[in-house]
Amino acid sequence: MTADQSVSLQSQVVFNSDGLVPVIAQQYDTGEVLMLAWMNSEALRRTIDTGRATYWSRSRGEYWRKGDTSGHTQSVRAVRLDCDGDALLLEVDQVGPACHNGLRSCFDTLVVQLTPSPSQQAGGHK
């Protein structure tokens, strides 16, 4: 990404009142959803400049580049902006687990499994 593209992307992002935007990290080749984190404009700039996912830790109040301490890096392949400009999707190549608890994805815990109704199974909408 060129410097001009980076500035253009930054100007399109709608940061919340805390100066943050939610970011979903997704495995680039499988579509697997890995984690949710937060970025401010500096974290986004660092991510674009280095090609490594850098986030803002709300609990620690500091930047963290994914994998610097764990070795579980995220190399960014693409940055996508949602239609409202208030969320980002990082397509990444994840090395090792993405979740701090050692799981591949932070979304590995099944809470509710829904069974489609007969009309949904037939492709209908209700």
Strand ranges across the sheet with 88-94: 33-39, 21-27, 88-94, 74-81
Q: How far apart are CA 54 and CA 36, in angstroms?
A: 12
Q: State the pLDDT at residue 110.
A: 81
Q: State the pLDDT at residue 14.
A: 97
Contact call for residues 85 and 13 (beta carbons, < 8 A)? yes
- 126 residues of the chain, pLDDT tens digit each: 666 666 778 889 999 999 999 999 999 999 999 999 999 999 999 999 999 999 999 999 999 999 999 999 999 999 999 999 999 999 999 999 999 999 999 998 888 888 887 877 776 655
Identify which of 67, 30, 31, 33 has the alpha carbon closest to the alpha carbon of residue 47.
67
Domains of the chain: 3-121 (3.10.20.810)
Q: How far apart are CA 29 and CA 94, in angstroms?
A: 10
Angle between helices 41-50 and 3-12 (to 10 degrees): 150
Q: Where is 79: in which H helix or E strand?
A: strand 74-81
Q: State the pLDDT at residue 125.
A: 59
Contact call for residues 48 and 66 (beta carbons, < 8 A)? no
Q: State the pLDDT at residue 8.
A: 79
Q: State the pLDDT at residue 2.
A: 65
Q: State the pLDDT at residue 1.
A: 60
